Homo-oligomer: A and B are copies of this chain.
Amino acid sequence: MQDTQEPIQDVAHLGHVEILTPRPDESLHFFKEVMGLEETDRQGQSVYLRAWGDYDHCTLKLTEASHAGLGHVGWRAVSPQALDRRVKALAAVGQGQRWMDGDIGHGAAYQFTDPDGHPMEVYYESQKYLAPEEMKSRLFNQPQKYIARGAGVRRIDHVNLMCSHVPTNRQFLQDSLGFHLRELLQPEQDGTEEGAWLSVTPLVHDIAYTRDFTGSHGRLHHIAYWLDSREEVLRTADILSENDIFIEGGPAKHNITQAFYLYCYEPGSNRVEIYSSTYLIFAPDWEPVIWRKKERGRGVYWGGTLPESFKTYGTPVVPVDEANKKNIATVFDPA
């Protein structure tokens, strides 16, 4: 029996994402009325939200800012000891920054950035959502009543970050936080990575990195919320259409992650994905799936392609000129 190194199992799951919006009222209306999220708190320039199926007090922190983009990504550790180990590892590679006292929804958090500069934090103490009496579900294992408002998304699923160099960033998450590489987009034989999908859970990704063809740093590609069925994603497409929300791609099926997806832009300019019907990975020795251009043969599973904006549009929005688009031969499928 081979004596392999044991896997790191210190990060439990994606806890929350903070996104920035220059149009806080319109963004809030979108997330509450169109997506169906619940507001749980407000503080300063921020509103704290969660989906009806999220067990934590907050999975989305929506903060007013001069421009759209990522505020930060919060990861929850499995135990105080695990948190301590990750803090040491982050500090050791020079990406650690400082401890902060906590925020609405969680306790003390250690702040760091990935190599591309996206702010992140890791913490253990977390506040569970406790529904007020009138919002308690008849299902005691459900954090609150089902919300039949707008899309009625169920829970946060993942975050996708754009970066200038995919390998550096994904390797950082693997080495310092114990993420598993699940799928990898390497269109050409030269090995250039255009996307990487990683997770600490059986979800095929808790986070993805996709190459930023504009050469920018620290941008957000999208955040994703989950629906239990493809039928509900289709229903959401109708709701978005009737609300004049731009649908950039889908509903359709990704090759990568196998997911049934839909991408739209919320009024503050951030891309939001509605996501369902992917697969789970339980094998402790999963071999990353490598996608090459010639093998894929087409952009998305059933045919068609994703729009070119998939390689250049992110938040903050930056001008796209011919120079920074020069490497975009074909638009692939960054799930």
Contacts and interface: CB of A to CB of B under 8 A. Distances in A.
Contact of A201 (B2, B252, B282): B282
A138 B241 contact: yes
A1 B304 contact: no
| Stoichiometry, copies per complex | 4
A12 B284 contact: yes
A333 to B, nearest CB: 11
A331 interface: no
Contacts of A250: 302
A141 B181 CA distance: 13
Interface of A: 1-4, 6-7, 9, 12-13, 53, 55-56, 76-83, 107-108, 124-126, 128, 137-142, 145-146, 148-151, 155, 183, 201-202, 204, 228-232, 234-235, 237-242, 246-253, 255-258, 260, 262, 277, 279-285, 289-291, 295, 297, 301-304
Given A12-B282, A13-B282, A231-B231, A79 B141 contact: no
Given A149-B149, A237-B302, A289-B141, A12 B242 contact: no
Given A78-B7, A201-B202, A141 B183 contact: yes
B229 A283 contact: no
B146 A148 contact: no
A255 B140 CA distance: 8
A241 B139 CA distance: 10
Nearest to A255: B139
A8 to B, nearest CB: 10
Given A1-B125, A237-B253, 20 more contacts: A3-B81, A4-B80, A6-B78, A6-B82, A7-B78, A7-B79, A12-B284, A13-B283, A53-B279, A55-B281, A126-B285, A138-B255, A140-B291, A148-B235, A149-B149, A202-B202, A241-B302, A246-B303, A252-B252, A262-B302
A126 B122 CA distance: 33
A262 B302 CA distance: 10
Contacts of A290: 140
A172 to B, nearest CB: 22
21 contacts: A1-B107, A1-B125, A2-B80, A3-B81, A6-B81, A6-B82, A12-B282, A12-B283, A12-B284, A13-B282, A56-B283, A126-B285, A138-B242, A148-B149, A148-B150, A230-B234, A231-B232, A234-B253, A237-B301, A249-B303, A262-B302
Given A79-B284, A149-B149, A304 B304 contact: yes
A235 B302 CA distance: 11
Contacts of A282: 12-13, 55, 201
Most buried by B among A231, A291, A295: A231
B4 A79 contact: yes
Nearest to A156: B282
